[in-house]
Structure 1
Amino acid sequence: MADPRRRKLRYAYGPYAGGPDPLAPPFDIRSAMDQIGRDVMEGSSPRQALQELLRRGLEGRRGLDDLTRQVWERRRDLQRDNRLDGTLQEVRELLQRALDAEREALGNEDSDDARFREMQLDALPNDTGGAVRELNEYDWRSSEARQAYEDIRDLLGREMLDQRFQGMKQALESMGSNATPEGREALERIHEMMSDLNDLLEHHAAGQDTTDEFREFMDKHGEFFPENPQNTDELADLLAARAAAAQRMLNSMSAEQRAELMELSQQAFGDPRLAQQMARLDAQLQGMRPGEDWQGSGRFRGDNPMGMGEATRALEELGQLDNLAEQLSQSYPGARLDDIDLDALTGMLGEQAGVDARTLAQLERELQRQGLFERAADGTLLLSPKALRRLGQSILRDVAEQLSGRNGQRDTRRAGAAGDATGATRPWAFGDTEAWSVPRTLLNAELRKASGDTRKLDVTDVEIVETEQRTRAAVALLVDTSWSMVAEGRWVPMKRTALALHQLISTRFRGDALQLVTFGRHAQSVELGELVGLEGAYAQGTNLHHALLLAGQHLRKNSDATPVVLVVTDGEPTAHLEPDGEAYFDYPPSPHTLRATVAELDKLSGMRAAFTFFVLGDDPRLAVFMDDVARRVGGRVVTPTLDGLGAEVVADYLKRRA
């Protein structure tokens, strides 16, 4: 008999429908490449485009700019809300409490000694440090006053240690006053630790092997170092960072405050040994770690008074924020996102900031790993052929959506125009004009439904009947690169058009031969990567004549193919090529330039080339000229919108080769 508990363990599998895919990568490579490609086409170098992407961030992820802004806001708030004289203020309050209590006690005495003591109190220096120093040997009449004075010395000692050793202040507070046996015992342990620490650092600075000495030191005094450094160098790094922050705190105070605090430090715990050991430690650390910021300062102007330890940590935090800002700026030579201290970033700005920065670093590594960039011989970063293909796929997909969205328009091609059926089938791709294989398409749909997908028919189900290819085309795409194309916002649409056509031909019509030709003052045949990365430059001239010469060379090289010439321009021909190779420019167009251009059109027309002129803008002179030459060579004139340029060129190409 079957176990009834087993019958309950039934599982069903289906598409995940509970929100974003938890297994999806944290970034979209395709979207990233689209953004990089757009910036490159607008004139940025690939490196600049990559940096701009990292600065902007991705959908749902903050970029470097947002993280940097948050760093500076944190820095601003820290300086705006706080001030550094908290310890001085607390000492002044304790001193005033001690003096008030002592004067009250003396006022209740009727003796010459009491009057003399009152005179002593009245003669105290005006500065707090000098007053505390003068009272070091004073014999207090009031127990409350004596306790307040002892509190001053304990406070100063705890604050000095809190500047340099994490958690020391709280530990000492739990042990009570220095006047108690426990407090005195704790203070002696601290003096011993400071002496051993200075000896260790001195030996290490002298080049001695301190491995064993460091181990003995940590076994004896490890309680004072919860960070658990692993060697003397790590210990020196830790202490130097805090000592430098303490020095920056002093630098940030006024000269009077600084002098007052230095005077008071001699009274820490009523024992000058601590100040002496601290001075020795600072001198050694400055010699061992001169690269720390010992000279910096910060301007604090808030209302919240901070103690010495708290103020030192604030200066240390400012230093960390400055380092993070530099890391996030990526403006120094050899900068990498892996340079960013993710632990510090998370500690300062929260967990999400660390996640965002880590995602950007992963994106940068993934783009490099997938080979989407390559280096030219001169070391510059270029988009790789793989990146150009991905960019072309994305743009061609947009073009396909535009074509499919036309108001009921569709091409009517003769069945079998591409050749006789071979008997094989393959998945449909954009640009295919062959007939569907109905049996294979329906079978694919049923197989998909069996996996749980409820859609009746999807484009991914479609398979077409492969046919023999009967014809091939030689296509020359001539694109205007004169300054007006840049100035009027036609630069990027022109490049997107070239990318879409190149992607279509290289993936669906591999037998066709495409030549890209740019023309400004001169014309030149270019590779796709050159065109995509081409920067707009101010140069007068629209040399269609030269471009047609290069198109003719391409068509003659492929004389067995159907010749197709596609021209994208926004201006009349204003330049032509002279026999000596120099370009002649004149505006308005000279009759000589127009005659040379028309003559070259006639030559290509004699080769039975099919012409389409894509006219951008609304220049009436250009419209008249293009209408005239189109009638002369039997071509077409199309006046697309900028958004529709790519779709018009691709549709015209498909129509020409059908």
Structure 2
Amino acid sequence: MSRYRRYDGGDPLAPPVDIAEALDAIGQDVMAGYSPERAMREFLRRGGDDQAGLDDLARRVAERRRDLLQRHNLDGTLAEVRELLEKAVLEERKQLARDALMDDGDRAFRELRMQNLPDSPAAAVTELGDYDWQSSEAREAFEQIKDLLGRELLDQRFSGMKQALENATDADRQAINEMLNDLNQLLEKHAEGTDTPEDFREFMDKHGQHFPENPQDVDELIDAMAQRAAAAQRMLNSMTEEQRRELMELSAQAFGSPALMDQLNRLDANLQSLRPGEDWGGSEQFGEGGQGLGLGDGTGVLQDLADLDALADQLSQSYGGARLDDVDLDKLARQLGNEAAVDARKLQELEKALRESGAMERGFDGELRLTPKAMRQLGKALLRDVAQKMSGRQGQRDLRQAGAAGDLSGATRAWEFGDTEPWDLPRTMLNGVLRRSGAPDGPLLSIDDVEVAETEARTQAAVALCVDTSFSMAMDGRWVPMKQTALALHTLIGSRFRGDDLELIGFGRHAQTMRIEELTALDARWAKGTNLHHALLLANRHFRKHPNAQPVLLIVTDGEPTSHLESSGDVYFSYPPHPMTVALAVRELDNARRLGAQTTFFRLGEDPGLARFIESMARRVDGSVIAPEAGDLGAAVVGSYLGSRRGQAGGRPGSYGDFFGSRGFWVG
């Protein structure tokens, strides 16, 4: 048999989850020193531009919980009993005043009894239990008290019973007593291990209308009932001592007989024995004002509070092995609405996509890490940012020289950022015409229409990117921009200038060559020292390995050299810089010039001494100095590299200097 329910999965035509934004944010956090696992968790907590995160859902859960506690109090049933009792007494006293035929002594006795009722509603109801009411309205109000108590007590254990038994007959009450007896017998047989599936089916066939949860076996039945019974107990625990005492005394009057309460006490004992792990001892602090809750509604609120507590725990993801699949979407929809459940489902899909997309993998040490595929995606995103920052620059593309680095092959391809080949105008215009045939109102040309002519050969470059990894880079907030710059340049060379050979060199107290994965995952180093001498030694070694390539030297630093390698291989450190440290760095810079290197310094910070030192170094080797802000470092390095590539075709190195000059970045 097919079963249908309302679709609650959000927009069925929505596109698949896009992990690009998540990978970008995760990559930024990884470069800032987070582990990939923690970075993923942080993104799921924050959410994206158009995606609510776990923190937002948890905030809404907390607000809903606080609202429930402040908006209600637990005095609803007692208040309703007081109201019915006052009505009964008032109607009886009216009737006594009107009844002239009644014996004066009897009337006086009845009036005295009405006047001297106990203040406690429970004691008053008990005292009036055998009273012979003269007013039919008073008798009806008093009987409503007994009926109300019975329905409320049942509604605590069976949701909706208060409404279902309104205006119930004696036969209806007898049917309820029979159901409770059968239920207790089933639970007791289950506790003994003597029940069978047939026992459960017979029970549901006979009494299934009282269980809207539609349990499929006895364990599901027990789970549902135990959760509500535990909530009922927590409600009692949350009451004042006086409120509890009043309700316990009143419960004996339910339906005019203690039989109902006996069956319910038996049921509670069975459920607590079968599910001792439920929270039977908890309580909540409700506000004193607000709407009074009856026993059934109060139990429902306590269940809601329990659901909200469970959701808060699930959304916190603070326990071992936590996954977003743990979040109960049905509970979330009940408490916060379908929109919240859709947001949580998107986060679940995003987490699954991140784990299954190949963007992250576990190494031999069991730690989660970004894969080369993820690094490429992150690098492309960084390149797009660089392209946006470089857009509008004057002199960034000279079409008279573009493509001069290779012979045309006759083939074309779509333009990508970093291309220096000339446009293929016929193909570009044809693409624009074809696109406009489907969208006549579109622009004559768009960037997606552009195709460039492929070249067969291009002059090779050997590029050494030397990045400062000293203490000050991390301390002054330049650590992540430095890594982003390296990744953007690595991606550009790996995708558009594959003939070039890039060497990444990090230099702090000493220098070392690094793979891009090592550099992007590098934690901040707190050892003091800026060993430019060692970095230049490694750069020159790289240039010598590629004697037929054009050397390109890019140096990113925020400090003067304060350490060097001695002949023994040991590191010498001195601050202020020792003359020997400076002399050795200058000697290796001269060696790079003799190898033909085009050198660009990227000076970070405003230190005048550093500025004078780097300007003198750049003049010595006919190099350039660029002083970008940290956020513009990627655009500066990529622009300088592209300028050097054009320089091989006849342009001058640093042809992006005009742009930097217009922005106040050009120094020398």
Matches of 2:458 and 2:24, distance apart in 1: 35
Deviation, structure 1 residue 430 = 1.9
Deviation, structure 1 residue 475 = 1.3
* Partner of residue 17, structure 1: none
**Is the 2:458–2:499 Cα contact (8 Å) retained in structure 1?**
no
**Is the 1:61–1:356 Cα contact (8 Å) retained in structure 2?**
yes
Deviation, structure 1 residue 269 = 0.6
Matches of 2:13 and 2:394, distance apart in 1: 39
- The aligned runs of 1:216-227 (5 Å cut-off) are 216-227=202-213
Q: Pick one of 58, 62, 80 that aligns with 1:90.
A: 80
CA deviation profile, 1:393-443 (whole Å, cap 9, x unmatched): 111122223333114554477465322223333222222222233333333
* Partner of residue 132, structure 1: 125
Secondary structure of the structure 2 residue equivalent to 1:401:
helix
The answer on 1:406 being equivalent to 2:393 is: yes
Matches of 1:594 and 1:406, distance apart in 2: 36
The answer on 1:344 being equivalent to 2:331 is: yes
Deviation, structure 1 residue 577 = 3.1
* Partner of residue 433, structure 1: 420
Matches of 2:65 and 2:614, distance apart in 1: 62
**Is the 2:191–2:274 Cα contact (8 Å) retained in structure 1?**
yes
Greater Cα shift, 523-532 or 321-330: 523-532
The answer on 1:655 being equivalent to 2:643 is: yes
The answer on 1:363 being equivalent to 2:363 is: no
Cα 1:120–1:437 shift into 2, 3 Å = closer
Matches of 2:20 and 2:114, distance apart in 1: 79
Matches of 2:94 and 2:14, distance apart in 1: 75
Greater Cα shift, 229-238 or 439-448: 439-448
The answer on 1:565 being equivalent to 2:558 is: no
Matches of 1:458 and 1:120, distance apart in 2: 95
Secondary structure of the structure 1 residue equivalent to 2:452:
strand
The answer on 1:153 being equivalent to 2:146 is: yes
Q: Pick one of 525, 528, 538 that aligns with 2:526.
A: 538
Deviation, structure 1 residue 488 = 2.6
* Partner of residue 71, structure 1: 61
The answer on 1:485 being equivalent to 2:478 is: no
Deviation, structure 1 residue 141 = 4.1
Deviation, structure 1 residue 232 = 0.7
Matches of 1:307 and 1:283, distance apart in 2: 22
Secondary structure of the structure 1 residue equivalent to 2:523:
coil
Deviation, structure 1 residue 626 = 0.8
The answer on 1:197 being equivalent to 2:183 is: yes
The answer on 1:229 being equivalent to 2:215 is: yes
Deviation, structure 1 residue 345 = 1.2
Q: Pick one of 504, 519, 526 that aligns with 1:516.
A: 504
* Partner of residue 616, structure 2: 628
Cα 1:24–1:282 shift into 2, 3 Å = closer
Deviation, structure 1 residue 161 = 0.8
Deviation, structure 1 residue 297 = 1.2
- The aligned runs of 1:367-406 (5 Å cut-off) are 367-406=354-393
Greater Cα shift, 456-465 or 159-168: 456-465
Q: Pick one of 607, 619, 630 that aligns with 1:619.
A: 607
| Letter in structure 2 aligned against 1:157 | G
Deviation, structure 1 residue 213 = 0.7
| Letter in structure 2 aligned against 1:138 | Y
* Partner of residue 3, structure 2: none
TM-score (norm 2): 0.89
CA deviation profile, 1:483-515 (whole Å, cap 9, x unmatched): 322333322222221111011100011122112
**Unpaired stretches in structure 2, ≥5 consecutive residues:** 1-10, 649-668
| Letter in structure 2 aligned against 1:65 | D
The answer on 1:270 being equivalent to 2:256 is: yes
CA deviation profile, 1:123-155 (whole Å, cap 9, x unmatched): 655433233233333344444333332211111
**Is the 1:418–1:468 Cα contact (8 Å) retained in structure 2?**
no
Q: Pick one of 269, 274, 295 that aligns with 1:308.
A: 295
**Is the 2:470–2:526 Cα contact (8 Å) retained in structure 1?**
yes
Deviation, structure 1 residue 567 = 0.6
**Is the 1:626–1:637 Cα contact (8 Å) retained in structure 2?**
yes
| Letter in structure 2 aligned against 1:212 | E
**Is the 1:541–1:573 Cα contact (8 Å) retained in structure 2?**
yes
Secondary structure of the structure 2 residue equivalent to 1:173:
coil
TM-score (norm 1): 0.90
Deviation, structure 1 residue 28 = 3.6
Q: Pick one of 15, 22, 45 that aligns with 1:25.
A: 15
- The aligned runs of 1:429-468 (5 Å cut-off) are 429-452=416-439, 454-468=442-456
| Letter in structure 1 aligned against 2:201 | R
Greater Cα shift, 598-607 or 629-638: 598-607
**Is the 1:191–1:274 Cα contact (8 Å) retained in structure 2?**
yes
Matches of 1:155 and 1:303, distance apart in 2: 21
| Letter in structure 2 aligned against 1:349 | L
Greater Cα shift, 577-586 or 295-304: 577-586
* Partner of residue 517, structure 2: 529
Matches of 1:163 and 1:588, distance apart in 2: 79
Secondary structure of the structure 2 residue equivalent to 1:497:
helix
**Is the 1:399–1:646 Cα contact (8 Å) retained in structure 2?**
yes
Cα 1:379–1:154 shift into 2, 3 Å = same
**Unpaired stretches in structure 1, ≥5 consecutive residues:** 1-20, 176-182
Matches of 1:326 and 1:90, distance apart in 2: 36
Matches of 1:578 and 1:247, distance apart in 2: 78
| Letter in structure 1 aligned against 2:320 | P
CA deviation profile, 1:345-396 (whole Å, cap 9, x unmatched): 1121122111111111112222222211111222222121111111111111
- The aligned runs of 1:547-562 (5 Å cut-off) are 547-562=535-550
* Partner of residue 49, structure 2: 59
Matches of 2:497 and 2:618, distance apart in 1: 27
The answer on 1:284 being equivalent to 2:270 is: yes
Secondary structure of the structure 2 residue equivalent to 1:186:
helix
Q: Pick one of 497, 500, 503 that aligns with 2:488.
A: 500
* Partner of residue 210, structure 1: 196
Greater Cα shift, 191-200 or 252-261: 252-261
Percent of matched pairs sharing the same residue: 59
Secondary structure of the structure 2 residue equivalent to 1:644:
helix
**Is the 1:411–1:655 Cα contact (8 Å) retained in structure 2?**
no
Matches of 1:93 and 1:451, distance apart in 2: 74
Deviation, structure 1 residue 120 = 5.4
Deviation, structure 1 residue 339 = 1.4
Greater Cα shift, 575-584 or 65-74: 575-584
**Is the 1:200–1:210 Cα contact (8 Å) retained in structure 2?**
no
Count of residues paired in the alignment: 631
Matches of 2:453 and 2:232, distance apart in 1: 79
CA deviation profile, 1:198-220 (whole Å, cap 9, x unmatched): 11111122223431011101111
Secondary structure of the structure 2 residue equivalent to 1:566:
strand
Cα 1:394–1:127 shift into 2, 3 Å = same
Q: CA RMSD in A?
A: 2.4
Matches of 1:250 and 1:412, distance apart in 2: 83
Cα 1:281–1:556 shift into 2, 3 Å = farther
Secondary structure of the structure 1 residue equivalent to 2:464:
strand
Secondary structure of the structure 1 residue equivalent to 2:409:
strand
